[in-house]
Structure 1
């Protein structure tokens, strides 16, 4: 079975990183694509695990060579998804999740129409503000900047296949796991793998 390409998007602070981590931990056929970025690592982030941290010049050269399935500039830093890396994982049978924004989702879905997409909604704008503030990664000015863009980001939920309200983390996690798991049971995806069984059952 060839893997499925997934996109999980949300406004900043929407919880997509934590939910994706749960999916990767609990489902052995799911991996997260590691993006390239020009932003500096945050505390605790590891090069090659969380992101491939590269200089702006290196990133620009990769764009010129057409290495990225998608790329975008978000809050002054560039982010991109390597096409070769994703394709190798899909060919090995793994489902690949991309942690990107709606702009990247539009680019990828235009090039790969079979991509499945999930959007995470916060239970309220105030809850989103609290999450952004509590995580302590950005100063107040950056938090306000992210909040100013949240409504625009959220308005793109209509472009996605699935919507999950990330109010209770465990409930949202179960919803994402259900979406990923059920997709592997679609006939068109599993039919080839089940041919020996179909033959045994007299279905030629």
Structure 2
């Protein structure tokens, strides 16, 4: 009887040790850093070059890497001076975080990244109201507001532009950022690697305005 109890105890202890070993092995696998799998020639270099271009705020350059070469109109500058300043501020604000390698899901190759940039939609939404406040303050604090107006009592364009410039400075100083997580697929087109954009990347390229 004692031998049976001893044998049962040894078996239970052995089972516990095996279970502990399995748990330790699982934890080791979870904590082990992911390693890149072999990728087709040139895809890693292309992905990093694309993300570096995006990180520099070169949106038109990044758009040239898209599959199908769509014309997103990024080579065109805004018509107004305030529009140019806003667009430049947005490009300067773009910052990209990414890993140094691509990854595979089945036969597809992907690159993921986080892109943080000025929330241009929010800035534009505040611009008009802020400019109106500056304009109102200028007229209300003037000793004789009529001297600032045109002969017909309308507000001169120069005064409007001054208020808009002041508002633009304040809006950009108070500007908030938005972060988008993107997952783009990398494919070959005519022997060259290209990016198949997801919704997040298209939003980054258009500053979320399209």
TM > 0.5: no
**Highest Rg: 1 or 2?**
2
Output the TM-score relative to the length of structure 1: 0.22
